[in-house]
Structure 1
Amino acid sequence: MGHSITLLANFLLQQNIHVYLDHACANEQLVAADLLTQCRVLDKDEMGSHCDLVVVLGGDGTLLSVARCLAPYRVPLIGVNQGHLGFLTQVAADEMLNVVSGMLTGKYLPEERILLECQLEREGVEVGRALALNDVVLSRGGIGQMIEFQVMINEEFVYSQRSDGLIVATPTGSTAYALAAGGPILQPTLRALTLVPICPQSMTNRPIAVSDSCEIAIFISKAVDARAHFDGQSYIDIRCGDKLIIRRYRHSLRVLHPTDYQYYKTLRQKLHWGEQLV
């Protein structure tokens, strides 16, 4: 990782581009001291207000955490994969400099990804708010008892449910936890959300897809121990009587892909689908 950061930072500096590094890079001593003197070090939350472009070196999980910080600023994002093939981190580490060089001259495929904004109300008062690029997951906690809740979409009653929880996923998140729970794969730029039950007591409960303009409200009627998770990276404890309100966030995330990016090729590789025969 440190080698890749050093290569990229030196390359950008040679192009007379101002380089900002995340505090984590400096604190973990991933780059040499002489390089740090040529760069400015910022908190991840500050990047959006200072940068015109952000490059994430890591996996999809790292990109998710950065994306939520950048969402309010509309700053484009490039993901350089440092491990296994990712759905979001599409630039291969060994091609990083060539691809990034081309992207700086306009050789990229832009894609807009929607995010979710979740608001938690308790006794009519907002007690929490968070963003998610993949999904908002209502789930039972460590005690292991099922939770009971009802779902409203645009103030219309949809169903009540007793289950281990519910996943509300964006198209980006449709290939993550939602897929493992039996949800549909949504093409990334589709303006839709999917609601996927987690082990519902009623076997007739099935995933549904709705427009991303819908407001989804979840009323928790029974929850001994439950939480709302955001991209699997942060959470809020849920109590009986709480209300989760989920909407599309007002800004989308702009992801820049290499010019040879193919979504269905990524699906085949990641999900081990059969290759083309002819």
Structure 2
Amino acid sequence: MEKQGISVYLDLEGSKTLPSTTGWTKEEIVRRADLVLVLGGDGTLLAAARVVADHQLEKAKSSLPPPILGINLGNLGFLTEVQTSEIFDVLTKVLDGHYLTEKRLMLMTRIIRHGHSISESHVLNDVVINQGSKARLVEFDIYMDSLFVTSLKGDGVIFSTPTGSTAYNLSAGGPIVYPEMDGIIMTPICPHTLTHRPLLLPDQTRLEILIKKGDSVIVTFDGQVDHPLVAGDLIEITRSPAMTTLIVSPDRNYFEILRDKLKWGDRSHN
């Protein structure tokens, strides 16, 4: 890429593998980049998406956020679609302007304690409220646009985007939702009342979760960043003004990835 006159910025961790290069913070890279290239797995891409979202919000939408191209270094991912064997072919097409993008909904979460916002996060996959180190039930009330939805007692609850529907949400019995759809999926985790079931809610809504009881309750963002909660805390979840733009593989579609990852139609036995 440098031979084509393209400036390449490596993050601090990546620059350690190439001693002759200069490392940059992820925030510095996003400020300069027209394209963010992520090498790793889905978790690496989720972390990059949050950095890009923060930059987009700082800019107050004055400029479009750089698209993200995920190169998978392990097993095929839902987000990092491009394999290492395809990287040069795909990069050539992308640099020539021949590529497709998908815009993915993100969620914004605020933690409100004693009437004051103490934390704000933007996520691409999910927001999870559950018990921390102690195996006890969590009790909370859920509201949508100030309307009471339900009181829930259980191991926790997942609020997922369509993109995150194939992650923790799926493991907890939630539905798979096509990633370009708009909506918020609410999936209880091992509810005490077995009649509680996942709900697909409008994306243009405000969800509020009031923590009523629970020791060591935490809220986790994209499975990577967590924040401790106490009884009386209010967690507000809305659609984020930021969106993630992904460059998708021209040689692989979403259903092909689902078939491969979930082994649909696989009759083999170990």
> Shorter-chain TM-score: which interval?
over 0.9
Instruction: Flag structure 1 segments of 5+ consecutive residues without an equivalent.
Output: 1-11
Residue from 22, 27, 34 that aligns with 2:11: 22
Query: 1:54-133 to 2 correspondence within 5 Å?
Result: 54-71=36-53, 72-73=55-56, 74-133=65-124
Query: 1:151-162 to 2 correspondence within 5 Å?
Result: 151-162=142-153
1: CA distance, partners of 2:149 / 2:213? 18
Counterpart contact for 2:71–2:81, Cα < 8 Å: yes
The count of corresponding residues between Structure 1 and Structure 2 is 258
Q: Supply the RMSD in Å over aligned alpha carbons.
A: 1.3
Shift of 1:262: 0.5
Counterpart contact for 1:145–1:225, Cα < 8 Å: no
Opposite residue 23 of structure 2, the aligned amino acid is V
2: CA distance, partners of 1:205 / 1:169? 16
2: CA distance, partners of 1:185 / 1:82? 24
Counterpart contact for 1:116–1:132, Cα < 8 Å: yes
Counterpart contact for 1:154–1:216, Cα < 8 Å: yes
For residues 50-84 of structure 1, the C-alpha deviation after alignment (integer angstroms, 9 at most, x for no partner) is: 11111000000100111100014321100001110
1: CA distance, partners of 2:99 / 2:202? 28
For residues 140-163 of structure 1, the C-alpha deviation after alignment (integer angstroms, 9 at most, x for no partner) is: 111111010010011111000101
Instruction: Flag structure 2 segments of 5+ consecutive residues without an equivalent.
Output: 57-64
Shift of 1:41: 2.7
Counterpart contact for 2:13–2:23, Cα < 8 Å: no
Counterpart contact for 1:47–1:70, Cα < 8 Å: no
Match of 2:62 in 1: none
Match of 1:49 in 2: 31
1: CA distance, partners of 2:44 / 2:193? 36
Match of 2:193 in 1: 202
1: CA distance, partners of 2:105 / 2:8? 27
1: CA distance, partners of 2:109 / 2:77? 25
1: CA distance, partners of 2:196 / 2:80? 33
Residue from 228, 231, 235 that aligns with 1:244: 235
Shift of 1:178: 0.3
Counterpart contact for 2:220–2:226, Cα < 8 Å: yes
2: CA distance, partners of 1:46 / 1:236? 25
Shift of 1:106: 2.1
Of 170-179 and 253-262, more deviation after overlay is shown by: 253-262
2: CA distance, partners of 1:16 / 1:149? 55
Residue from 226, 232, 246 that aligns with 2:223: 232
Counterpart contact for 2:186–2:200, Cα < 8 Å: yes
TM-score, length-scaled by structure 1: 0.90
Shift of 1:32: 4.1
Counterpart contact for 1:80–1:89, Cα < 8 Å: yes
